[in-house]
């Protein structure tokens, strides 16, 4: 059920909106213990003046996703909010409130948010594995790198490549190869934290960014992923179980690095060394 946060100073508006909306949505007031994610903000004129910074903060927290806001105002004060349209305010509704008009505006804004979420997910997700795509990884990874430099926190990156994957495609076909990639992605996700960022980098190559993780910690994660993939065959059909292994290159942020590609290049070199040493191992140039 969608969550609506009411940022209202007018007591009559609070009473009416709770009555109108609570039958269809979860409704919270700003002074409630409201959930960290909302689907819609509704604010009245006095509330807008009082909570303008809070509205901007809530919208920025979900950027680049769309958190819609509906302003309740009188016709007399309508024009005074025109400079805030498309920033803090996305839709206007004049008071006194008409029940059906309110529900129609709310429904439209929530539908727009749902479409925005779907489009955003498609834009940042690899369609086969469900992991993040390369474009999102590079963008978010650069942010994490700058954040780590600013706070002097460690940051590590894993580059993972499936061993002899071409043979899988050649012998069993690309549909089986796709299933191997999908199962690999699942085991990666099962092996990392929610704050870690895993992406399909290209072909059979995956990358994982590990915030606040030093070289030794990164090696532990790399080995956990490698073992989770190698120790249990992929059961792709009742008659087909494939034993898959991966090689992992591990890199940790150096003080001189200012660009994510420097960290990626270091992990790529470590991956090359892992391949040279026989595959199915994790290797870190920093250790």
Token pair belonging to 45: 């004129």
Angstrom distance (rounded) from CA 71 to CA 91: 6
Q: Which of 90, 97, 98 is nearest to 41 (CA)?
A: 90
Q: Where are the domains of the chain?
A: 3-124, 134-284
How far is 57 from 53, CA to CA, in rounded Å? 6
Q: Does domain 134-284 have CATH number 1.10.3720.10?
A: no
Q: Which residues in the chain belong to E strands, given as ranges?
A: 3-7, 26-29, 40-44, 69-73, 91-94, 155-162, 197-202, 205-211, 234-237, 240-242, 246-252, 282-284
In the chain, what is the greatest distance between 2 CA atoms, to the nearest angstrom? Answer: 76
pLDDT of residue 124: 93
Q: Which residues lie closer than 8 Å to 283 by C-beta, 6 or more apart?
A: 247, 248, 249, 250, 270, 271, 273, 274, 277
Q: Residue 263: which of 132, 160, 157, 146 has the closest Cα? A: 157
| Separation between Cα atoms, residue 275 and residue 25, nearest integer Å | 54
Residue 225 token pair: 């992923």
Let me know: does 147 contact 222? Beta carbons within 8 Å.
no
- Please name the residue ranges forming H helices in 125-164: 134-151
Q: Tell me the CB-side half-sphere exposure of residue 105, using CA atoms within 13 A.
A: 23
Please tell me the distance from the alpha carbon of residue 47 to that of residue 12, in angstroms, as a whole number.
Answer: 13
The residues assigned a catalytic role are 204
- Give pLDDT < 70 ranges for the chain: 32-36, 62-65, 78, 80, 82-87
Return the bridge partners of 251, or none.
157
Q: State phi, psi for 89 to the nearest 5 degrees.
A: -120, 135
> What pLDDT is stored for residue 63 in this prediction?
47
What is the predicted pLDDT for the residue at 35? 65
Phi and psi at residue 214, to the nearest 5°: -85, -175
Question: What is the pTM for the complete model shown?
Answer: 0.74
Confirm or reject CATH 3.40.50.2300 for domain 3-124, answering yes or no.
yes
């Amino acid at each position: 059920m969608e969550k609506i946060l009411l940022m209202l100073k007018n007591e009559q508006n609070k009473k009416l909106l709770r009555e109108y909306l609570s039958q269809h949505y979860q409704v919270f007031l700003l002074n409630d213990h409201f959930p960290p994610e909302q689907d819609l903000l509704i604010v009245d004129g006095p509330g807008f003046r009082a909570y303008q910074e809070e509205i901007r903060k809530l919208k920025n927290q979900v950027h680049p996703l769309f958190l819609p806001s509906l302003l309740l105002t009188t016709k007399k004060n309508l024009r005074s909010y025109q400079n805030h349209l498309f920033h803090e305010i996305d839709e206007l509704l004049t008071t006194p409130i008409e029940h059906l008009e309110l529900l129609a505006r709310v429904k439209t804004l929530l539908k727009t948010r749902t479409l925005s979420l779907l489009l955003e997910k498609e834009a940042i997700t690899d369609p086969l594995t469900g992991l993040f795509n390369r474009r999102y990884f590079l963008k978010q990874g650069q942010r994490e790198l700058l954040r780590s430099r600013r706070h002097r926190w460690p940051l590590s990156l894993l580059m993972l490549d499936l061993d002899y994957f071409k043979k899988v495609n050649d012998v069993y076909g690309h549909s089986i190869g796709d299933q191997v990639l999908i199962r690999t992605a699942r085991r990666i996700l099962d092996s990392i934290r929610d704050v870690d960022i895993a992406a399909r980098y290209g072909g059979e190559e995956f990358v994982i960014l590990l915030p606040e993780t030093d070289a030794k910690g990164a090696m532990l994660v790399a080995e956990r992923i490698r073992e989770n993939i190698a120790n249990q065959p992929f059961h792709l059909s009742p008659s087909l179980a494939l034993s898959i292994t991966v090689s992992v290159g591990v890199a940790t942020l150096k003080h001189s690095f200012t660009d994510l590609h420097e960290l990626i290049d270091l992990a790529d070199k470590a991956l090359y060394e892992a391949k040279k040493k026989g595959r199915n191992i994790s290797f870190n140039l920093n250790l």
